[in-house]
Structures are given as C-alpha cells and as structure tokens.
Chains A and B, each alone.
Chain A
C-alpha cells in the first residue's frame, strides 16, 4: 500500500502548486465579539516544496494549518490541494501538532502503527514500524506509553506516526521545539533526507529563524495579529546548509530584522510602513510565484547577487488607513 512517488528528485523540479491559498481570511466568534485572525492570506506551495512559516505567537499560524488540514473551514477565500478545495482532513495531508496529540492508551510502537493498521499485512507493518522507530531513535522506548516518555520523544513519535503514512503534504506546527540542539539538528537532517527521498510538500511552522533558514526553500514571514503575510524570502542556499555558508548570515540578518521588528518593536512603524524600500523587494504578486526555479544555485556568489531580487515583500502597509 505504499504510495508511489513519481517525482524522483522533486527538489530540482519547479512544481505546480500543490497547495494554493487564495485570499484566505478567518474570523473567530467569541460571544458577541468577532476577531479577525487571518487576513487575506495568499500563497502557494509547489509540489515538493518546503515552505517555512515564521511569525510571532498568536499570529494565526496554527489556525492556518488547521484550515489547510481541513479541521476547520476557511472563513472566506479558498484553500486548494492539487486544484481541489480542501474540505475535510485526509491521509494525504498529515499534521504534526504543536501540542501533544498522541493516543495516551497506545504505546510508542502502537501510536506509530495506528494509521496503517488494517491497511497493511501485519508483518510488513511491523517491519515498517521498526524502520521508523529506528529513524527517530526510539527503539528502546517502543513499549513505553506517551506519559512515560519526554516531551521531545513525544514529538518524535508524532513525527514518525505521520511520516510512516507517506503523505503528499506534511503540515508541521513547531515540531522540534522541545528538542535539544543536537537532536533538533538530527531531526532536521532526517526530515530533509526523507523529504528528498519522498518529495512531500512541507509547510513547516517555526519560531526559530535558524531552523527556517536551514530547512526552507522559501520562508514566509507572518505579521502579528491579524495574521497576514508580511514577506517572503527564497532561500537559495545549497544543501546541506550550515551557518558557515556565505549566504546564511545574510538571510539571518534579514530575517532577524524583519521578524524582530514585528515581535520586539511594535512601535517602530517606519520599517514596516514601507517594507519595499527597506528590502528592495518587489511586491508579492497575488498569483503563485514560481519561486523554486531561481532557488537552486550552487554558487554562493551568484546567490548573494540574486538575493535582493528574490526577496519578495508585500507592498501593503501594516496599518492601512481605513
């Protein structure tokens, strides 16, 4: 029952959009009041693209993933996968939740096997579970219950139980937050190597700028509430990425100042009023940008020259007068 993955090396193919979000807005009604959580979000993720979303706490990242997963309906606008509207959750779009969502009555092994149970011969399933247990390094803990393992181990189980399903789209909500530095690096490498092998489309939410630069084809920076897309960066650095790469520091600085301006200097409106000026970027077109084509350079010098053209900033002001 393994899903066939036709793309042998999806990383090098400019994919057609696998996920398409057009003018998505979402309100939450709480009693009398209605709060706008997502405001006119438009972006695409090409097939096999790894998109990181960063944004401050409360800007609506989880809400966005909930909509993409089909758990909650979009307010207005549309979300599509392969051209079809997303209406309900399904095994082709799997989520690694931000919080613990393992089944507390199942052992680590049973949790990982859950989605494939009754869809595969028991022997094959056992082998597959073994493989993923080993991949996330939890062989010793196979028979432990979720309440008997640490937070970081739970996150790895949560990762394994969806990776084993080989979904076309992976929605990951800060999956590595409670891992220590080395384990986090290891998991990032694991993710990237599996991604290279299987070519899923990945939407990866994180707070960690380094993580975003290490992983992403493209980074989307979300504004503080109500959530909007503030900027997009194409990260054209060759993989495997490391902090010593020429371009790395460059991206880090850029992201820090844009993300930092959002989270730490809420009064400093001058930067945000005209992001175009600051970044020298072009307004993001409301169509899907075929961002992947340009992102595959293996010569750092060329990459550096290209940075400014690749960066895309939304020309919209943060506080529109209305």
Chain B
C-alpha cells in the first residue's frame, strides 16, 4: 500500500520538476495580472517586455539600445567583487572560526566583540566605507567580506566546538598530533557546518555586492539596477534582479560542487 503510494508520487512529480512549480505559478499569476491591465506597466512591466529587455541586455551588440552589450562587463565586475570579498571573508573567518571553536581563550577573546559588531546593520558601514575607500571596488569588497565573515565565522566556530570529542580522542590515541588532527579529523568532522557557513556567506555576499554597487560605480549588476532606477526603467530593474538571482543560485551550486570536488568529507557527509 505504502509502496504503491510512493510509486505514484514519484511517477507524477519527478523530483527535478518540483523546484520549478513555485516560480511557474508566480510567473503565471504575473502574466495574468499584466494581461488584465490592472497594474500599470511603470509599476510592474509585462513579462514579455522583461524578456525583451533581458534579451537586449545580454545578447545585443553595444550601442543597439540603452544597456545593450553591457552584460558581460557588468557580470565580470560583480563576480570579481564577490569573489574577492568572499575569499577575504574565508581567509579571516575560517581560521578564526576553527580557533575560537576549539580554544576557549580565543572564543572568550573574540565572541563578545564579534557579536556586537554583528549587531551593526551592514548598511551603516556604507558611509564609513565610502570615506575610507572611496567609490568602487574597494568599498564593495570591504562590504562583501564584512558581511560574509559573520556566517562563516559563526558556523565554523559552532561546528568546530561540536565535533564529536571521541573522534579527536580516537585520533590522539592513534598517534595523530594536533596539526595533522586539525586537517584530517577536525575539519572533515565539521564539514557540514563549514559548508553551511560558506553557502550563507556567499548568499549574503551578493546582497552586499548590490549595496556596494549602488553608490555610483560605473559597472556591475547592482550598478545597472541603480542606473535604471534613475532613468525610470523598471523593466531593467527587474532584469537586474533576476540576473542576480540566477547568478547567485549558480554560484551557490558551483560552491557546493567545488567543495564536494575538493573534500571527500563534503562528498560523503553533506
């Protein structure tokens, strides 16, 4: 009986379809709302217009239309900023997280300060960052790495402190010393936490990327959105938002694939 039910379920809803249901329904609602004409297009453009704008932005030659031909440059600028900021956050957050998860001294030293810092909304750093770094790359990278640092640090610290002590003892009794134990037991042992921290960090990187790019840098996906707002191009704003959603999702997938490629523990435990 149960088996039958299971078979029916997997037959009708193949798992690969499921993620598309909600976007599909929303898209359908959007189309039907636009068709009725109840909502003026300067508030929410028709999906077809959005698709056209998006096509122009991505595929048309430069100079054909406003925004045409800019996509690759914007994408590259944004990805580079996210990459730099996120890497910086890992370089600081990862070792500090591991240390503070294992050493009471470090966690007592850092945790209060880091949690207080965390309570400061990221956006309030913007004016200060502008004063320090000026408009452009440096400010954005600073904001991205600051924002991505917290989830990375907190998750890895939690993971490192919760790793099964028996595993570390097992290593010690087999003659594995501290340094090797860190790499061959501790880090694999908290791999699920590490991956969660990195994914959350990368996700928030994209949010702060846009914040950093809203300040008037010439290129980048966030810059395009800001530019479109000033010109009243709502369709372009929506295109920018969608592209960030897609690129963000893709980068998350790439991160997971890369981690699973590099780490046996990520392959086997997550």
Contact = CB atoms under 8 A, between A and B. Distances in A.
Interface of A: 69-71, 88-91, 93-95, 97, 99, 101, 103-106, 114-115, 145, 161-162, 165
A115 B268 contact: no
Contact of B173 (A91, A99, A104, A106): A91
A69 B269 contact: no
B191 interface: yes
The number of chain B residues touching the other chain, given as a range, is 10 to 19
A95 B269 contact: no
A97 B166 contact: yes
A240 B191 CA distance: 47
B265 interface: yes
Nearest to B170: A101
A70 B264 CA distance: 30
Given A90-B175, A105-B191, A97 B170 contact: yes
A114 B174 contact: yes
Across the A-B interface, the 9 shortest Cβ-Cβ residue pairs: A115-B174, A91-B175, A105-B265, A101-B166, A89-B172, A89-B173, A105-B268, A105-B188, A101-B170
Interface string B251-270: 00000000000001100110
Secondary structure type dominating chain B contacts? helix
Given A69-B173, A89-B172, A94-B173, A104 B269 contact: yes
A115 B167 contact: no
Given A105-B191, A105-B264, A145-B268, A94 B166 contact: no
Contacts of A69: 169, 173
Contacts of B170: 95, 97, 101, 103
Interface of B: 164, 166-167, 169-170, 172-176, 184-185, 188-189, 191, 264-265, 268-269
Given A95-B170, A99-B166, A104-B269, 8 more contacts: A71-B173, A90-B172, A97-B166, A101-B169, A105-B191, A105-B264, A145-B268, A165-B174
Q: Which of A69, A71, A105, A162 has the most CB of B within 10 A?
A: A105
Given A104-B268, A115-B175, A145-B268, A89 B169 contact: yes
Contacts of A97: 166, 170
Contacts of B264: 105-106
Nearest to B270: A105
Given A105-B264, A105-B269, A145-B268, A88 B174 contact: no
B188 A93 contact: no
B173 to A, nearest CB: 4
B193 to A, nearest CB: 13
A239 to B, nearest CB: 28
7 contacts: A91-B174, A101-B164, A101-B167, A103-B170, A105-B188, A105-B265, A161-B174
B13 to A, nearest CB: 27
A69 B269 CA distance: 29
Nearest to B175: A91
Q: Which of A101, A114, A145 has the most CB of B within 10 A?
A: A101
B194 to A, nearest CB: 12
Nearest to B267: A105
A95 B164 CA distance: 16
A69 to B, nearest CB: 6
Contacts of B189: 103, 105
Nearest to B188: A105
Contacts of B164: 101
A94 B173 CA distance: 6
A28 to B, nearest CB: 15
A88 B172 contact: yes
Q: Which of A88, A93, A99, A103 has the most CB of B within 10 A?
A: A103
A162 B170 CA distance: 9
Contact of A95 (B173, B176, B191): B173
Nearest to A98: B166
Contacts of A88: 172
A2 B175 CA distance: 15
A105 B264 CA distance: 7
Contacts of B173: 69-71, 89-91, 93-95, 162
A106 B184 CA distance: 11
Contacts of A145: 268
Nearest to A158: B170
A145 B166 CA distance: 18
